[in-house]
Amino acid sequence: TKKQWSSVVSDLYHYVNPKNERASPMISKDTYECVMRHKDELDSAIVYDRDFNYQYFGFKTLERSYLLKLNGKIVERPQHMIMRVAVGIWGDNIERVIETYNLMSSKFFTHASPTLFNAGTPQAQLSSCFLVDMKDDSIEGIYDTLKTCAMISKMAGGIGLNVHRIRATGSYIAGTNGTSNGIIPMLRVFNNTARYVDQGGNKRPGAFAIYLEPWHA
């Protein structure tokens, strides 16, 4: 990896996908421009020796899922990731950027995984958890909700979903003059979606927690 963080950011921003030869920036335009404006101050603030404060398991976890890659090759160091997060949150407030960087790199606190994955990138979704209500007790409502859950999982969010709006087994379906199979077959579809649409593109498994009121049949 390159030592100067601003050079790494430039490489990530100007990345061109070799398979389709299209510009595919891994860093947002706002983050890139901010880093270029303050590159001397930001580059000099990074303390690379703090990378050695990670244990082997922690370092390999960062390597596997958190550090940004180009063409499968890691281009970020742990300190680069932390500075990316700080700039992604604070932007041109360089005093706050450096304060946040120093606190995180000294292990006073860390941000949640979605923030470490996405801060400073074109898809800057930083939240860990989302509470979702089933849109409607209908095919349209169920699949609209399924799409919402899939999009959240794509960007590394975990989901808590209540399903007590869905009718119970044996309930009448006016549109087909049939009866409902209940929530279990529906939840298999949500479970398979959680397995398929993992968090952040194979960074960690999807996580859907399902909630049901005690009165539901």
Average pLDDT over every residue of 171-189: 91
pLDDT at 176: 87
pLDDT of residue 37: 97
- Side-chain half-sphere exposure of 198, counting CA atoms within 13 A: 7
Can you tell me the mean pLDDT for 201-215? 86
Over the chain, what is the mean pLDDT? 93
- The full length of the chain comes to 217
Predicted confidence band of residue 200 (pLDDT cuts 50, 70, 90): low
pLDDT attached to residue 1: 84
Average pLDDT, integer, range 13-32: 95
Structure confidence by residue, pLDDT tens digits, 24-48: 999 999 999 999 999 999 999 999 9
Q: How is the chain classified by DSSP, letter by letter?
A: --S-HHHHHHHHHT-EETTTTEE--SS-HHHHHHHHHTHHHHHHH--GGGGGGS-HHHHHHIIIIIS-EETTEE---HHHHHHHHHHHHHTT-HHHHHHHHHHHHTTS----HHHHHHTTSSS----SEEEEE---SSHHHHHHHHHHHHHHHHTT-EEEEE-TTSPPTT-EETTTTEE---HHHHHHHHHHHHHHS-BTTTTB---EEEE--TT--
Quickly state the pLDDT bin for 10 (edges 50, 70, 90). Answer: very high
The tens digit of pLDDT for each residue in 110-155 reads 999 999 999 999 998 899 999 999 999 999 999 999 999 999 999 8
Model confidence, pTM = 0.83
Q: Which pLDDT band holds residue 2 (cuts at 50, 70, 90)?
A: confident
Q: How confident is the model at residue 158 (pLDDT cuts 50, 70, 90)?
A: very high
Which residues have C-beta within 8 Å of that of residue 106, sequence separation ≥ 6?
50
Domains and CATH numbers, the chain: 5-118 (no CATH), 129-211 (3.40.50)
pLDDT(206) > 90:
no
Res. 175: pLDDT tops 90: no
In this predicted structure, what is the pLDDT of residue 201?
Answer: 66
Q: What is the pLDDT of residue 177?
A: 86
Question: Number of C-alpha atoms within 13 angstroms, CB side, residue 64?
Answer: 9
Over residues 150-175, the mean pLDDT reads 91
Residue whose structure tokens are 């309930």: 171
